[in-house]
């Protein structure tokens, strides 16, 4: 199985996550981004790590992803998995079951539960967006999401020239509020329409920043393991 990875560049298109590997500020402000991105439900999940906790809200507008993430959390499937790929100014990625008790230097990013989820595009990749990894287009033309691997967008404000270039090259259309959010708060618009955003961070963006800035090896795996425990707070 190929690796679930995000490919990125300053210009569009960029992130390809495969179901397995490497081809790849604030909480209140980000909560507002969630309301701009999609009408969210009240499902709340807590991601506990040794660097702090991240509270996320799951969107009703992505019912299949919401249902799946709640299922994984209830089953403890994600517990003891690592944030195995972190890139400052981009995102933090986790959810690979192969990362549990992985040896130092072990390649990660190829694991999953053995199923994928249909794409549910719509919500934007604002800073703090909770999104699904996936295999690249060559083997996954429907852009179906990984069953367990996910990433959280960490990038800050997007330069206007870069945003305009992405909009032109991808043919994207943003509301004035969405555009303003990318320019002032941040995110990764080059991923919009290619990866499913199914939630947003409502508390703990400072923790996302800490994880993204952890020292890492050439594969972008943190040198010191950052494990998680995921539990449902409400649904």
Q: Where are the domains of the chain?
A: 27-234
Say yes or no to pLDDT of 117 above 90.
yes
pLDDT of amino acid 184 = 98
Please write the tens of the pLDDT for every residue from 38-55. 444 489 999 999 999 999
As a whole number, the mean pLDDT across the chain is 86
pLDDT in the model for residue 32:
41
Q: What is the CATH number of domain 27-234?
A: 2.40.100.10
β-sheet bridge partners, residue 156: none
Q: Which residues of 82-120 are buried (b: 16+ CB within 10 A; e: fewer)?
A: bbbbbbeebbbbbbbbbbeebeeeeebbbbbbeebbebb
Q: pLDDT, tens digit, for every residue of 156-213?
A: 999 999 999 999 999 999 999 999 999 999 999 999 999 999 999 999 999 999 999 9
pTM: 0.86
- Evaluate whether 140 touches 18 at the Cβ level (below 8 Å): yes
Q: 231 pairs with which residues across the strands?
A: 46
Pairing of strands 129-134, 228-234: unpaired
Predicted pLDDT at 30: 38
């Amino acid at each position: 199985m190929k690796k679930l990875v995000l490919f990125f560049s300053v210009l569009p298109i960029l992130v390809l996550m495969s179901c397995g590997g490497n081809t790849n500020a604030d909480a209140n402000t980000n909560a507002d981004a969630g309301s701009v991105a999609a009408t969210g439900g009240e499902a709340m999940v807590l991601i506990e790590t040794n660097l702090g906790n991240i509270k996320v809200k799951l969107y009703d507008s992505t019912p299949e992803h919401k249902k799946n993430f709640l299922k994984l959390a209830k089953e403890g499937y994600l517990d003891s998995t690592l944030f195995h790929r972190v890139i400052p100014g981009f995102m933090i990625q986790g959810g690979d079951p192969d990362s549990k008790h992985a040896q130092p230097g072990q390649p990660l990013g190829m694991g999953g539960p053995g199923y994928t989820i249909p794409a549910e595009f719509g919500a934007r990749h604002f800073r703090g967006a909770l999104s699904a990894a996936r295999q690249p287009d060559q083997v996954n033309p429907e852009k179906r999401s990984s069953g367990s691997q996910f990433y959280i967008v960490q990038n800050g404000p997007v330069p206007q020239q870069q945003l305009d270039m992405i909009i032109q090259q991808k043919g994207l259309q943003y509301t004035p509020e969405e555009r303003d959010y990318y320019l002032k708060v941040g995110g990764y618009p080059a991923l919009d329409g290619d990866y499913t955003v199914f939630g947003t961070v409502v508390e703990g963006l400072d923790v996302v920043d800490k994880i993204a800035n952890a020292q890492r090896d050439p594969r972008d795996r943190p040198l010191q393991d950052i494990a998680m425990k995921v539990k449902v707070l409400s649904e």
